[in-house]
Amino acid sequence: MSAVLKEDVPAHLKGNGRPVTEELTLTDLKVTGNIPPELDGRYVRAGANPLSGHSDHPFLGDGMMHGVRLRDGKAEWYRNRYVQTPFIKDPSIDVLDMSVMMDMKSSKANTHVIGHSGKILALEEGHFPYELDGNLETVGATDFDGILKGSFTAHPKICPVTGELLAFGYSALAPYLRYLRVSADGKLVQTEEITVGGPTMMHDFNITENNVIFMDLPACFDLNAAMSGEMPIRWNDDYPSRLGVMPRNGTDADVTWYDINPCYVFHPMNSYEDGDKIILDVARFPYIWRDSTMDFPDPVLWRWTIDTTKGTVHEEQVDDRPGEFPRVADDVVGLKHRYGYEMRGMEGALVGDPAKASGGIRKYDREAGTFEDCEFGVGRLGGEPVFAPAANRQGEDHGYLMTYVYDAETDLSELIIVDAQSMDDEPVARVHLPRVPGGFHGSWIPASVVA
C-alpha cells in the first residue's frame, strides 16, 4: 500500500515523518543477502518522534532511538525506545518555555547517539546527554559527575588516536560558548569559556590532530521570538562569519579567528592539518532561517583551506549537487581523509509525497576529485551514511555503509548494508523492519565499546 498523506498536519509529520509511538522488540528479522560476520555491534540512530503525535518544528519531537544488533552474521534484534526525558513523563511541558530551555535535564535527546567509554549517549545540543544501556533503555541524564554546568553538543568528536571525546556547549545566555574535553575513560577534564560575538546556534564543530575549529556563524538567538514561544533562532546579516582555531588543550586566549563569507554549516564532513594549512570539507548553506525556521536552501559540499601563516581562508565549492549529513570513517576523524560520504535526497525527505522522491549515498574521492552514487530507487529514502570497517581492512574505504531506508510503496523500512568500496546499488544485506520514521544522526557502536 502507499503511505497515507494528510493535509492538516505540518509537512515534517507527513510521509515517513509520521511518528510511531509503539516501542517494539523484534527478534525474528528477515534478512535479504548476507550480513558480514565481522559486524559485531549496534547500529543506532536518533530521531524526533513526538509522543503526542504533533510538533511545531522538525527539531522539537521527542527523542526515539532505533537500533539493530548485529552479531555472527545475524540481525539479533530491532528495538525502538523513547529516551525517558521529562517530556515523556509529562507531555504538557512546553519545550520553548525559557525556564524549561534552561533546565539542563530538559533535553529532547533526539539528535544524535554515540558510544564512548562503555556508554551509549543520546544527545541534543541544548542540554545534558542522556545515558542508555545496551538495550536502548534510559539510564538517565549525565553531567559527568557534576562537572558539566551547561549544554553539551549533539556532535562531539571522538579522537581515533587518543580516544578523547571533544565537545562544546552553546547558550542563549553568557557564557555563550564553552569548550569541553572528555578523557578516553569518560571524565570531563577540561572546560573553557570561549569568547564569541553573541549568542549563536553552533550545531557542530571540527577537530584535527592538534586543534579544534569553532564555526561562529550568523544563526543568532532572537529573544523576541523566544518570548513569543517561537523557535528562538533567526538569520542575522549583521553578524560576521568566522572560524576559530584553538589548540585542543588550549584556552580562550589561544583562539585565532579567521573571517569567511556569510554562510551556515550544520555538519562538516571532516577536517585535518596539512603543514601550515587546515583543511575543512563542509556541507555549506548560503544562509538558513532568514524568513522563517523552515527556510532551508540546498546545502552543497565546499572546502575551506585555512592558511595559518597568511591568516586567510580559501573557499572553494566542490559540488553543485545538494547533499547533507556528511561523514567519514570514524578512524580518520580529524586526520587526512580521502573518502567522504553524504546523504542524497534530503530535499525529497521534506516533501509531502515521498513516492515522488529518491535517495541514495554519494561517495566523494577527495584525492581524485570524483564521486559515485549508490542509488536507492524512486520512492526509497535513506538517511545519514554510517561507516563500519571490514575485517582485515585494506584501505580507508574497505568497509560498509549503513542507513535506514524507507520504501513509500510498502510503507516499511530496511537497514541496508552497502559495500563502501564498490558502492553497488544492491546492498550486501537488507534487514527488513517495520516503518522507521525519518530521523537525524546515528552511529555504528562496536561491541568492543558497548558489549
Strand 358-365 and strand 370-378: the pairing is: antiparallel
Residue 445 corresponds to which cell in the numbers above?
557502536
Work out the angle at residue 231's Cα, subtended by the Cα atoms of residues 349 and 403, and round it to the nearest 5 degrees. 25
What is residue 228's predicted lDDT score, i.e. its pLDDT? Answer: 73
Residue 240 lies in a domain: yes
Q: For 184-192, what is the mean pLDDT?
A: 98
Are 417 and 36 in contact by the 8 Å Cβ rule? The answer is: yes
The Cα–Cα gap between 373 and 357 comes to: 16
Residue 6 lies in a domain: no
Residue 111 corresponds to which cell in the numbers above?
539528535
Q: For 176-186, what is the mean pLDDT?
A: 98
**239-287, pLDDT tens digit by residue?**
999 999 999 999 999 999 999 999 999 999 999 999 999 999 999 999 9
Q: For 195-222, what is the mean pLDDT?
A: 97
**306-319, pLDDT tens digit by residue?**
999 999 999 999 99
Cα–Cα nearest to 80, from 436, 396, 446: 436
User: Residues with Cβ < 8 Å from 61, sequence gap 6 or more?
Assistant: 19, 47, 48, 49, 50, 55, 108, 110
Residue 451 lies in a domain: no
User: Within 13 A of 166's CA, how many CA atoms are on the CB side?
Assistant: 25
Cα–Cα nearest to 354, from 323, 378, 385, 383: 378
Q: State the residue range of the domain holding 173.
A: 11-446
Structure confidence at residue 43 as a pLDDT band (50, 70, 90) = very high
Are 293 and 221 in contact by the 8 Å Cβ rule? The answer is: no
What is residue 4's predicted lDDT score, i.e. its pLDDT? Answer: 43
pTM of the predicted protein model:
0.95
Residue 355 lies in a domain: yes
Structure confidence at residue 354 as a pLDDT band (50, 70, 90) = low
Share of the chain above pLDDT 90, in %: 86
pLDDT of 323 over the 80 cut: yes
What is residue 9's predicted lDDT score, i.e. its pLDDT? Answer: 84
CATH of the domain at 408: 2.120.10.30
Hunting for cell 576559530 — which residue is that?
244
Residue 3 lies in a domain: no
Residue 102 lies in a domain: yes
pLDDT of 410 over the 90 cut: yes
pLDDT of 352 over the 70 cut: no
pLDDT of 126 over the 60 cut: yes
pLDDT of 350 over the 70 cut: no
Residue 4 lies in a domain: no
Give the long-range contacts of residues 224-230, CB within 8 A, separation 24 or more.
Answer: 226/96, 226/98, 226/101, 226/172, 227/98, 229/94, 229/96, 229/97, 230/96, 230/293
pLDDT of 11 over the 90 cut: no
Q: For 44-54, what is the mean pLDDT?
A: 96
DSSP collapsed to 3 states, the chain: CCCCCCCCCCHHHCHHHCCCCCCCEECCCCEEECCCCCCCEEEEEEEECCCCCCCCCCCCCCEEEEEEEEECCEEEEEEEEECCCHHHHCCCCCCCCHHHHCCCCCCCCCCEEEEECCEEEEECCCCCCEEECCCCCEEEECCCCCCCCCCCCCCCEECCCCCCEEEEEECCCCCCEEEEEECCCCCEEEEEECCCCCCECCCCCEECCCEEEEEECCEEECHHHHHCCCCCEEECCCCCEEEEEEECCCCHHHCEEEEECCCEEEEEEEEEEECCEEEEEEEEECCCCCCCCCCCCCCEEEEEEEECCCCEEEEEECCCCCCEEEECCHHHCCCCCCEEEEEECHHHHCCCCHHHCEEEEEEEECCCCEEEEEEEEECEECCCCEEEECCCCCCCCCEEEEEEEEECCCCEEEEEEEECCCCCCCCCEEEEECCCCCCCCEEEEECCCCC
What is residue 351's predicted lDDT score, i.e. its pLDDT? Answer: 44
Are 384 and 362 in contact by the 8 Å Cβ rule? The answer is: no
How many structural domains is the chain composed of?
Answer: 1
Are 213 and 243 in contact by the 8 Å Cβ rule? The answer is: yes
Q: How many other CB atoms are found less than 10 A from the CB of residue 121?
A: 24
The Cα–Cα gap between 114 and 432 comes to: 23
Residue 39 lies in a domain: yes
Q: Could you give the C-alpha distances from 72 to 41, 133, 401, in angstroms and in order?
A: 10, 21, 18
Structure confidence at residue 146 as a pLDDT band (50, 70, 90) = very high
Hunting for cell 530521531 — which residue is that?
47
Cα–Cα nearest to 358, from 399, 409, 311, 393: 409
Are 379 and 409 in contact by the 8 Å Cβ rule? The answer is: yes
Residue 271 corresponds to which cell in the numbers above?
577536517
pLDDT of 353 over the 70 cut: no
In residues, how long is the chain? Answer: 451
Share of the chain above pLDDT 70, in %: 96
Q: Which amino acid is at 276?
A: D
What is residue 7's predicted lDDT score, i.e. its pLDDT? Answer: 52
pLDDT of 383 over the 50 cut: yes
**76-103, pLDDT tens digit by residue?**
999 999 999 999 999 999 988 888 889 9
